[in-house]
Structure 1
Amino acid sequence: MLLLFLAYLGGVLTILSPCILPVLPFVFARSDQPFRRSGLPLLAGMVVTFALIASLATVGGGWAVRANQVGRIAALVLFGFFGLTLLFSSLADRFSRPLVQFGNRISKNSDPTSPLLNSFVLGIGTGLLWAPCAGPILGLILTGAALGGASTHTVLLLLAYAAGAATSLTVALLAGGRVFAAMKRSLGAEEWIRRILGVGVLAAVVAVAFGLDRGVLTRLSLTSTGGLEQRLVDRFHPANAPKRVTRNETVEVSDSSLTMLPSLSGATAWINSPPLTPESLRGKVVLVDFWTYSCINCLRTLPYLKAWNEKYKDSGLIILGVHTPEFPFEKDESNVRKAVHDLGVTYPVVMDNDYSIWRNFHNEYWPAHYFIDATGKIRFHHFGEGNYDESEKWIRELLEEANHKPLPGSATNVAASGAEAPPDTDEVKSPETYVGYERAQNFASPSGLNQDDPQLYRLPASLQLNQWGFTGKWNDGGQIATSLVAGASISYCFHARDLHLVLGSMKIGAPIRFRVTIDDKAPGLDHGMDTDAEGYGIIMENRLYQLVRQQTKVTDRTFRIEFLAPGAQAYAFTFG
């Protein structure tokens, strides 16, 4: 019930969002007509369109977004023509004549001048422009639907949000109607008002077409409610988003809130094994590892998992890797199969693209390890890197219980290399940093991030520790930043032995060369696994790239990566 109220309140607040401002002229342009016959159909068209698009977004993902972009173009054309009819009454007469004739044909008893159909069509167009203006509360609803699947609860939340928006717009429409009526009575300037509204509509069309509704207006407006909505969400529904855990954030829990190994249903694919079930695993000791292949923290646990698998599989240990993706490319089965092969993972891996198994475990972290005894009971779990000796002790304890005899040998010695090597935790003073605007922090380019629209960026005069910025033309999206010209670059002032960056190519199968410098010089001996001494490397696939591994004293350094062709995609920096 509380979330329904928040959804409704978020819809009410939407009218104050900066990107709603260009839509309001479309609404006010109908405010001088009877509300029941004009305003109400317009609002109905808006709400129906918005709810449909939002519902499609919960099941259609990127397809729904692309469909809405096409719809926005159609809506802009519609409203451009509508603005012209407000400016020129003769054009309005010619435009309304077919609608009147159509109305007469479908209903002999209808008022031939009824604007119902016209207003409803305009409402549909307004909804197409309005839908992308959602704030954090709608984001919470759609994120929950994306992770949990479409449900009756999601539908109710969407209806509550749409009802809230309709409420505030109804108030604006009714108030606007009274204001315009008073102006007409005092000034007798109906035609003058129509023309002003026509100019307003056309100006709004230009604003939406050029992205000013999401760019300039967002920066200029003093009435943005995104922060207020986010505070409401944080106050009443604390974030429970997936997150990576580093070595410094290790959490150990020996008294699990889960009793038995939950269902493994909902998997997208199984790798190295036929589908497994809790029943088929009964009698085995199971270590469930939640991971994703671009996660540096997950990669650094792999040498231990692989060593334990080889050492204890004949004693009854089964390691199950649950691959739950963070980025879109990690949902591609061919990418995951290649990563599993390249990383030398031979134990069963289940793809959990829909977060079904993740939710069954009530998990929140990468990496996360759950230790299940032979009866199917979860006995221990551990989040993050490190604590390997204790984890192996738990494995041995559960195996000795199951086999009713002690295990020979002792703790496993693991010598990891490359990106899988342990971090130099004493020197890591830079945090994981996302490049997409949804979670970006410490961005220092003077113009700020222009969300979802191309922009030419430059660096500030200097970068402070943990600040970063773009140079050249980029399009920064929610999770991904895409370089649009050759020579575009990213710079970061960091303090750590290792620097990694998750990279990919916008065009599948199109390699992109890049060059890395450290303090404006070739890295030399400080190059990473994926660069040479001169700093050159190549993006061949979507994955984590190790770009710097310092052999010299670790200090604050300025990293720069320049992409020698357009189409490079950057996701997140991690350090070690």
Structure 2
Amino acid sequence: MNHSHPWRTALSRFSPFASGWSTVDPGEQGSAGPLAALGLATSWLNSPPLTAEALHGRVVLVDFCTYTCVNWLRTLPYRRAWTEKYGRYGLAVIGVHTPEFDFEHDLGNVQRAVDELEIDHPVAIDNDYAIWTSFENHYWPALYFVDVLGTVRHHHFGEGEYEQSELMIQGLLAEAGATGFDPEPVQVDAIGVEAAAGWDDLWSPENYLGYERAENFASPNGTVLGTVHDYVTPSDLALNHWALAGDWSIDRRAVLLNRANGTITYRFHARDVNIVLAPSIGRVPFQVRIDGRPPTGAHGADVDADGNGLLDRPRLYQLIRQSGRITDRTFEIVFHQAGVQAYAFTFG
């Protein structure tokens, strides 16, 4: 069977069918320049507050991110490599963390993610979406390439196009008079959740679990709003359909587990299975199964071969990473205590 790849060029949280390059008309940017919006950050990590004036004369790469976004996480090895390679020649990589989920507004959570992900470049905290709005941005991840005069020359949305992005960086640096950098593109050895997706086998799109944006929910009677409900999983799930079992509440942005041993089941076709989770209180052990059995060699970075894992903080968890031939399979995760908030599945 022939398939198209609607997610291969998508790779953004807000628009699953938009990605790519665009040239920006400098006349649309206003006299103050787009970097003036950095003054609207609510806080900064890895740097004192940066201004357009302080960055004048440098090529700036503005990177819109949110720390649970798998599409952005898979681009992160290139951000690190470009910072290391071109920082001495005048490149400044500036992360703009604009949160998607409620817990991503917490500065402590973002600081911990920045530390664990070994991000050394400055990160502006954009909790009010003020910088996002000033750039008229709509995507995670999004790159804006700003020349030494403060003009956005190009932008790119989504994953991929890494060599083209690096050529743009080199061109802007050369335009500014920088010389001596190696023109060969960087090589990265990405591991874990940062490794590129297995595009040829990726037939499961991202899916949210809260009622506002959930698709293909298959538990009998559908979503029961405004109250707790004892859900069950049907005997068969179609591809990319999912179900709950146990005592859950379905909120606008997440599903909330009210009693121990609640289950989420998902029929998928992809190499990787990831899920965004947050504990309401304490630490919650869980167990993952694939086609009713422990994942063994197909376990992700956040579970062992028996499928055991621990939800200890709000973040993205990699639960399955397969090798070899990829087929339709059924994923289950069982939480052994109440107090779980599950937000979104992503695949790779």
- What TM-score, normalized by structure 1, do the two folds share? 0.56
Please name the residue that 1:441 is paired with: 215
Structure 1 ranges of 4+ moved more than 4 A: none
Cα distance between partner residues in 2 of 1:249 and 1:552: 30
Please name the residue that 2:315 is paired with: 543
The AA in structure 2 aligned to 1:516 is V
Deviation at 1:264, TM superposition (A): 1.4
Q: Deviations over 1:430-454 (max 9, x none)?
A: 1111010010110000121112421
Measured on the aligned residues, the alpha-carbon RMSD in Å equals 1.4
Please name the residue that 1:526 is paired with: 298
Q: Is the Cα–Cα contact under 8 Å of residues 13 and 69 in structure 2 kept in the other structure?
A: no
The AA in structure 1 aligned to 2:90 is G
Deviation at 1:324, TM superposition (A): 0.2
Q: Deviations over 1:318-341 (max 9, x none)?
A: 000000000000000000000000
**Unaligned residue ranges in structure 2 (runs of 5+):** 1-11
Please name the residue that 2:67 is paired with: 293
SS in 2 for 1:366: coil
SS in 2 for 1:283: coil
Q: Is the Cα–Cα contact under 8 Å of residues 268 and 350 in structure 1 kept in the other structure?
A: yes
Deviation at 1:481, TM superposition (A): 0.9
Identity of aligned residues (%): 48
**Alignment coverage as a number of residue pairs:** 332
Please name the residue that 1:456 is paired with: 230
Cα distance between partner residues in 2 of 1:408 and 1:421: 24
Q: Deviations over 1:375-433 (max 9, x none)?
A: 11110100000000000000011111112546334110111000000001111101111
More helix by share: 1
Please name the residue that 2:88 is paired with: 314
Higher relative contact order (CA 8 A, sep 6+): 2
Q: Is the Cα–Cα contact under 8 Å of residues 325 and 353 in structure 1 kept in the other structure?
A: yes
Please name the residue that 1:390 is paired with: 164
- Report whether the alignment pairs 1:556 with 2:348: no
Shift in CA distance, 514/492, structure 1 to aligned 2, threshold 3 Å: same
The AA in structure 2 aligned to 1:556 is D
The AA in structure 2 aligned to 1:261 is P
Cα distance between partner residues in 2 of 1:540 and 1:479: 20
Q: Deviations over 1:67-119 (max 9, x none)?
A: xxxxxxxxxxxxxxxxxxxxxxxxxxxxxxxxxxxxxxxxxxxxxxxxxxxxx
User: Which structure's CA Rg is the greater one?
Assistant: 1
Q: Deviations over 1:222-270 (max 9, x none)?
A: xxxxxxxxxxxxxxxxxxxx93467x85311123464332421321210
Q: Deviations over 1:264-284 (max 9, x none)?
A: 132121000111111111000
Cα distance between partner residues in 1 of 2:316 and 2:25: 32
Cα distance between partner residues in 1 of 2:204 and 2:186: 31
Please name the residue that 2:13 is paired with: 243
Please name the residue that 1:101 is paired with: none
The 5 A counterparts of 1:192-211 are none
Please name the residue that 1:102 is paired with: none
The AA in structure 1 aligned to 2:162 is Y
Q: Deviations over 1:288-341 (max 9, x none)?
A: 000000000010010000000001111111000000000000000000000000
Deviation at 1:460, TM superposition (A): 1.4
SS in 1 for 2:61: strand
SS in 2 for 1:365: coil
Q: Is the Cα–Cα contact under 8 Å of residues 245 and 385 in structure 1 kept in the other structure?
A: no
Aligned equivalent of 1:359, options 127, 130, 133? 133
The AA in structure 1 aligned to 2:191 is S
The AA in structure 1 aligned to 2:20 is V
Aligned equivalent of 2:99, options 318, 325, 334? 325
**Unaligned residue ranges in structure 1 (runs of 5+):** 1-241
The AA in structure 1 aligned to 2:259 is V
Shift in CA distance, 256/571, structure 1 to aligned 2, threshold 3 Å: farther
